[in-house]
Amino acid sequence: AQTVTQSQPEMSVQEAETVTLSCTYDTSESDYYLFWYKQPPSRQMILVIRQEAYKQQNATENRFSVNFQKAAKSFSLKISDSQLGDAAMYFCAYRSAYDYKLSFGAGTTVTVRA
Amino acid sequence: NAGVTQTPKFQVLKTGQSMTLQCAQDMNHEYMSWYRQDPGMGLRLIHYSVGAGITDQGEVPNGYNVSRSTTEDFPLRLLSAAPSQTSVYFCASSPMQSYNEQFFGPGTRLTVL
């Protein structure tokens, strides 16, 4: 399995502020996909955003955006205008373009302060 | 569509007991997989299948068996439960097309005493 590292076990953000979650990965492949999943207390895994490695443009989904640095093998998630409903554990995941197995990081717990 | 369903939601077993975690999807997805989630370790792949009759091992397969007799169902069997198998188990599915996300079930929390 590819190694995916999330170095921040916990992050705290004030409501309406911005928080950035870091993720790095190790691969020798050039074609792959990266994902951020959200896991609220309900335990359900919810896809937040995805990025294809061959695309230079960073993906955005409403208040969620990524900073994809392919050469540095870095894939950070920025949550803007944080809301109470953003409180959850966030997982970074890697998938090779040549199979369907996901490799996950250890997760970052995000707390949103009212 | 119900999506990916898992039963049971919670289960307590004694060491040495066997059981089957059920997973079903109604989206006609070819790819299905099982993960376990442990604190500080993220999700790790146990077994996966790329279609009926085809299964393969993931990162942590020991102590688990799977089969795929239909496209819809992908049960996970614990042969002789051990406390180390206490975990939350997720089933996921996706179409066999590049780029597609995996859809996850709601998870099963298993405790082995």
Nearest to A43 among B88, B99, B101 (CB): B88
Distance of alpha carbon B4 from alpha carbon B74, whole angstroms: 11
Nearest to B90 among A9, A45, A106 (CB): A45
A100, A104, A109: best to mutate for the B interface, most B CBs within 10 A:
A100
Percent of chain B with pLDDT over 70: 98
Q: What is the pLDDT of residues A8-18, one digit of tens each?
A: 999 999 999 99
Residues in B touching A33 (Cβ below 8 Å):
98-99
**B40, pLDDT greater than 90:** no
Residues in B touching A104 (Cβ below 8 Å):
35, 42-44
Residues in B touching A52 (Cβ below 8 Å):
99
User: E-assigned strands of chain B?
Assistant: 4-7, 10-13, 19-25, 31-38, 42-51, 54-57, 64-66, 76-78, 87-94, 103-104, 108-112
Distance of alpha carbon A65 from alpha carbon A63, whole angstroms: 7
Nearest CA in chain B to A34: B99
pLDDT at position B49 is 96
**B98, pLDDT greater than 70:** no
pLDDT at position B52 is 93
Q: What is the pLDDT of residues A87-103, one digit of tens each?
A: 999 999 999 988 889 99
Q: What is the pLDDT of residues A22-72, one digit of tens each?
A: 999 999 999 999 999 999 999 999 999 999 999 989 999 999 999 999 999
Q: Residue B37: how many CA atoms within 13 Å on its side-chain side?
A: 23
Strands A108-113 and A88-96: antiparallel
Q: Which residue has the higher pLDDT, A19 or B95?
A: A19
Helix (H) or strand (E) holding A109: strand A108-113
| Structural contact between residues A9 and A108, judged by C-beta atoms closer than 8 angstroms | yes
**A2, pLDDT greater than 90:** no
Sorted by sequence, the CB contacts under 8 Å of residue A5 that are 6+ apart come out as A23, A24, A25, A26, A105, A106
Mean pLDDT of chain B: 94
For residue A100, what is the DSSP state? -
Q: What is the pLDDT of residues B61-95, one digit of tens each?
A: 999 999 999 999 999 999 999 999 999 999 999 98
pLDDT at position B105 is 97
**B97, pLDDT greater than 80:** no
Helix, strand, or coil (residue B74):
coil
Distance of alpha carbon B51 from alpha carbon B29, whole angstroms: 8
Q: Which residue has the higher pLDDT, B12 or B96?
A: B12
Sorted by sequence, the CB contacts under 8 Å of residue A59 that are 6+ apart come out as A49, A50, A51, A65, A66, A68
Residues in B touching A98 (Cβ below 8 Å):
none
Percent of chain B with pLDDT over 90: 88
pLDDT at position B99 is 66
